[in-house]
Amino acid sequence: MLYIGSDHAGYALKEQIKATLKADNVSFEDVGVHSEEPADYPDYAEKVGKLVAKKAGNKGILICGTGIGISIAANKLPGVRAAMIYDDFSAKAAAEHNDANVAAFGGRTQKIADVKRWIRLWLNTPFSKDERHHRRVDKITRLEGGRKA
């Protein structure tokens, strides 16, 4: 399952992303926010992160003003590998090299046309079969106490 969440600064971009996901027939659950009323991004990073970490294969999309704060917050949760995606290469590498299960974006810094492309790249790029990437992700997992998502 794909979960999506944002703070108030990411709300408008989140709504545009949801329209893209619907058009692409991607199932998702929106965990909030549901307006531009001020909200704290760590709350939504936690909601999405906990849902992603519950089951292998789950993914999440998070949006705040820059994507930075919400990705930092999400990465505090065991089982979450959140990547701030900012170009085609980072979208592919996040999936292929880092097995990122959460993608973060900036509602005030990124354009929907780019974000749509990056989400499609991230969702459609499989994790590498190279041993070195698996070894590195395993080391990340050990840093967070051994819990795999």
Confidence of residue 147 (pLDDT cuts 50, 70, 90): low
Q: What is the largest CA-CA distance in the chain?
A: 45
Among 8, 34, 97, 133, which one carries the catalytic annotation?
97
Sort residue 95 into left (φ over 0), alpha (ψ -120 to 50) or beta. alpha
97 is catalytic: yes
pTM of the model: 0.95
- Catalytic residue (choose from 8, 64, 133, 134): 64
pLDDT for the residue numbered 49: 98
Neighbours of 16 (CB within 10 A): 17
Separation CA 8–CA 140 (nearest Å) = 30
Question: CA–CA separation, 53 vs 24, rounded Å?
Answer: 24
Domain map (residue ranges) of the chain: 2-143
Residue 2, strand partner residues: 28, 59
Active site residue 64: yes
Contact at 8 Å (CB) between 52 and 75?
Answer: no
Distance, CA of 139 to CA of 143 (rounded, Å): 6
Average pLDDT value for the chain: 96
The CATH code belonging to domain 2-143 is 3.40.1400.10
CA distance 38 to 130: 43
92-104 average pLDDT score: 98
Is residue 140 within 8 A of residue 79, CB to CB? The reply is no
Place of tokens 């974006």: 105
Predicted pLDDT of residue 146:
59
